[in-house]
Amino acid sequence: MANAMLQQTVGGTLQLLSNSGTHCNVGNRSVRLLPKGFKLEVEFSKRAICSSGKRKFNVIQASTSQTSVVGPLLAPSSSDTLDSHMKSNEVALILIRHGESLWNEKNLFTGCVDVPLTNKGVEEAIEAGHRISNIPVDMIYTSSLIRAQMTAMLAMTQHRRKKVPIILHNEDERARAWSKIYSEDTIEQSIPVITSWKLNERMYGELQGLNKQETADKFGQEKVHEWRRSYDIPPPNGESLEMCAQRAVAYFRDNIEPQLLSGKNILISAHGNSLRSIIMYLDKLTSQEVITLELSTGIPMLYIFKEGKFIRRGSPVAPTEAGVYAYTRHEIYKRALEIEKDQVVDFSVLFEKERR
């Protein structure tokens, strides 16, 4: 990195400090941003150690406030203490949009058509698993579509507890009987996976299988944008986001929220629109705010459920929510002020997102 000094206002100052990396003051918080190629080793303290070869550098953490759920780089030495950093009255809720699917790659409207992940989607799911590998997971909910189920299963292969996710088949008595597990020890080492069509992507009706660009050329960009991004206008014979929200949020309230209240840590692997709907409910967004949300494939979003309230924590071991959503400049800077202790932040990602 060339010897240079740069300052930019981000609700504070951003300084580029020769070869030692970048130092950022955001409000009264301080973060050191590291040059590429440095390995990050984080300990359970208010400071982190970065090393390149035999050289070590201190990383000033973003805040001295407490973080209740730790990410992969903050792993305890023993899986027996995995939950020790969760407060007794808190549970985790993790949301993951499935990795890239074969029809995402082909730029086709997918909706409720059941297509698998691409190789890139598999890699995204595994990376998501790395990010949540130290967050306790007691139950998993997915849609009935294979891309969401693959994402959850692949993510859990990276979990430190090494419990096995097992899909529960409850469609009839025979399905339940044939999939019964007879070992209590095996049950203890398993995580139930519950699937529901109510968590499916919104049904795109007559657009399903069509190329998005060709459809825009045929019907006009404005009409296709209306079908894709309006809240209450459905595509031909399909669902609007409002209709998708009615089923997804009702399912969340009736089935998932009671599990959180009982102390279960939950992972939901689903889709852009069904997760938008749930986030609208969690964050109390308006119909205008929710249509601006963009969820990246394979990036987990963490909430803490505490005393009946959902507290957004961003993406584990990553920048804050700007890594998940497309936000305005004001929102990016605002969320930079919310960085928790034990997160090292790459502000270049925030700025790149804002420029797009």
Would you say 84 is a known binding-site residue? no
Would the annotation count 176 as a binding residue?
no
Handedness of CA 300, 306, 309, 311 (dihedral sign): negative
314: annotated binding-site residue?
no
d(CA 348, CA 56): 23
Residue 14 · residue 347 · CB < 8 Å: yes
Question: Is 228 one of the annotated binding-site residues?
Answer: yes
Q: Determine contact, residues 234/245, Cβ cutoff 8 Å.
A: no
355 among the known binding-site residues?
A: no
Please check if 98 is assigned to a binding site: yes
Angle at Cα 86 formed by Cα 188 and Cα 59, nearest 5°? 125
Q: Phi and psi at residue 160, in whole multiples of 5°?
A: -65, -30
147 annotated binding-site participant: yes
**Enzyme catalytic residues:** 98, 201
The answer to whether 200 is annotated as binding is: no
Structure tokens at 140: 């998993």
- DSSP code, position 235: P
Q: Confirm whether residue 111 is marked as ligand binding.
A: yes
Q: Do the annotations mark residue 197 as ligand-binding?
A: no
Is 107 marked as a binding-site residue? no
Rounded Cα distance between 300 and 181, Å, is 30
Residue 229 to residues 15, 81, 145, 280, Cα–Cα distance (Å) = 38, 44, 22, 14
Annotation-wise, does 298 bind a ligand?
no
Is 97 annotated to bind ligand? yes
Residue 104, annotated ligand binder?
yes
289: alpha, beta or left? (left if phi > 0; alpha if psi -120 to 50): alpha
Q: Which amino acid is at 63?
A: S
Does residue 203 have a known ligand-binding role? yes
Residue 247 is assigned to a ligand binding site: no
Which residue, among 185, 86, 200, has the nearest Cα to 141 in the 3D structure? 200
Detail the residues annotated as belonging to a binding site for substrate.
97-104, 110-111, 147, 201-204, 212, 228-229, 272-273
Detail the residues annotated as belonging to a binding site.
97-104, 110-111, 147, 201-204, 212, 228-229, 272-273
